[in-house]
């Protein structure tokens, strides 16, 4: 819970409580660089203790990149290390992320990256989507979907660090194994709580590795218990949904968009095909550029490119179809995520708000 108070000092520095603590304990620094100081109050001592976990999970999201130093700021998306690994020489030490971006093509300057960074750093940089519109660089919490600190994500990160600190008991991919079990996320946390609380006095003394393994076993047993003959029978007799392209209503066009990621060559491709209400081909667009971003971000970028392209051609009454349910739901949601996907979705929504007869639908692959 103290992590939430520390997070407020980072995200709301103009709040009265933030200004009071800053004036007294860290007038010339940020909270993450503040020291405990002499004769600290009980409140400040308690909040200050959250600094370690917040430092471990906080990174920068690139807007225009002008306020992010490439060598001293955590701006990569590698959860193991947000910093670049290569020690920079004097020439590059003061560079900002903005100097690595081609603002006209909205992509990374590949030749500049090759000249400055090593292979690992280049790979991580290429995973970051470059915004098409300039915005403010902001701090976000990496380990939550919306970029804001939560007690749950902080607890999970803390438990992971505890497991990693004991190399003799650590099993690689321990947490990942639990989160790949096909159950709702809430069930994972319930399983962890049950392992700690239900009729077991020795849970606190066991290693995190053993506790998480027991939680995984508990989840798998629960899944098996739910597999009844009735459920299997209904699944076997369920009619298969026939997936065919459907024509748009009269007066509308349909634009199907998709994205493809080629990890080995670090290339991303977008494609859009427009057909009329009779199903007749009208026009298409294909585009590729260097990068290695996440799948859902690539799908959102493909949608953004298609909307921008259609608007530039002065097309009206268009239904954009994407096979990404995540992107489609995000476009129609009122919630705004602070992460990179949220930035792309905001740009999509901004364009859609200007075009009254542009709609976004989901279709299965």
Q: What's the pLDDT tens digit per position in 228-276?
A: 555 444 444 545 556 688 999 999 999 999 999 888 888 899 999 999 9
Spatial contact of 345 and 300, defined as CB atoms under 8 Å apart: yes
- Give the chain's domains with CATH numbers: 2-141 (no CATH), 151-222 (no CATH), 253-362 (3.30.420.10)
Residue 185: pLDDT above 70? no
HSE-CB for 231 with a 13 A CA cutoff? 6
Q: What is the mean pLDDT of residues 74-103?
A: 92
Q: What's the pLDDT tens digit per position in 122-139?
A: 999 999 999 888 889 999
Residue 354: pLDDT above 50? yes
**CA atoms of 265 and 270, how far apart (whole Å):** 15
Q: 0.75 exceeded by the pTM?
A: no
Spatial contact of 329 and 304, defined as CB atoms under 8 Å apart: no
Q: What is the mean pLDDT of residues 344-363?
A: 92
**CA atoms of 47 and 45, how far apart (whole Å):** 6
Which of 19-28, 102-111, 171-180 has the lowest average pLDDT?
Answer: 171-180
Reduce the DSSP state of residue 282 to 3 states and report it.
Answer: strand
pLDDT band at 277 (very low <50, low <70, confident <90, very high): very high
């Amino acid at each position: 819970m103290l992590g939430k108070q520390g997070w407020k000092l980072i995200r709301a520095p103009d709040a009265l409580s933030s200004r009071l603590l800053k004036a007294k304990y860290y007038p010339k620094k940020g909270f993450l660089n503040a020291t405990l100081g002499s004769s600290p109050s009980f409140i400040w001592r308690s909040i200050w203790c959250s600094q370690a976990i917040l430092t471990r999970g906080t990174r920068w999201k690139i807007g225009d990149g002008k306020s992010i130093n490439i060598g001293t700021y955590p701006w990569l998306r590698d959860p193991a290390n947000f910093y670049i690994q290569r020690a920079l020489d004097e020439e590059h030490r003061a560079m900002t992320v903005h100097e690595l971006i081609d603002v006209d093509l909205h992509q990374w300057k590949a030749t500049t990256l090759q000249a400055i960074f090593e292979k690992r750093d280049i790979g991580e940089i290429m995973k970051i989507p470059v915004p098409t519109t300039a915005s403010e660089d902001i701090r976000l919490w990496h380990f939550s979907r919306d970029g804001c600190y939560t007690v749950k994500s902080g607890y999970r990160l803390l438990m992971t660090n505890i497991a990693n600190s004991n190399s003799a008991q650590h099993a690689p991919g321990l947490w990942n194994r639990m989160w790949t079990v096909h159950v709702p996320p809430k069930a994972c946390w319930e399983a962890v709580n049950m392992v700690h609380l239900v009729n077991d006095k020795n849970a606190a003394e066991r290693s995190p590795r053993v506790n998480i393994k027991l939680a995984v076993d508990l989840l798998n047993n629960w899944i098996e218990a739910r597999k009844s003959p009735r459920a299997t029978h209904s699944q076997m007799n369920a009619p298969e949904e026939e997936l065919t392209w459907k024509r748009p209503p009269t007066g509308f066009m349909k634009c199907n968009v998709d994205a493809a990621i080629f990890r080995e060559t670090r290339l991303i491709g977008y494609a859009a095909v427009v057909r009329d209400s009779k199903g007749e081909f009208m026009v298409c667009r294909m585009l590729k550029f260097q990068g290695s971003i996440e799948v859902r971000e690539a799908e959102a970028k493909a949608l953004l490119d298609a909307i921008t392209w259609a608007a530039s051609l002065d097309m009206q009454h268009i239904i954009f179809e994407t096979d990404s349910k995540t992107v489609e739901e995000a476009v129609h949601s009122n919630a705004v995520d602070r992460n990179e996907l949220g930035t792309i979705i905001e740009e999509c929504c901004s364009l859609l708000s200007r075009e009254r007869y542009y709609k976004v639908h989901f279709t299965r692959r």
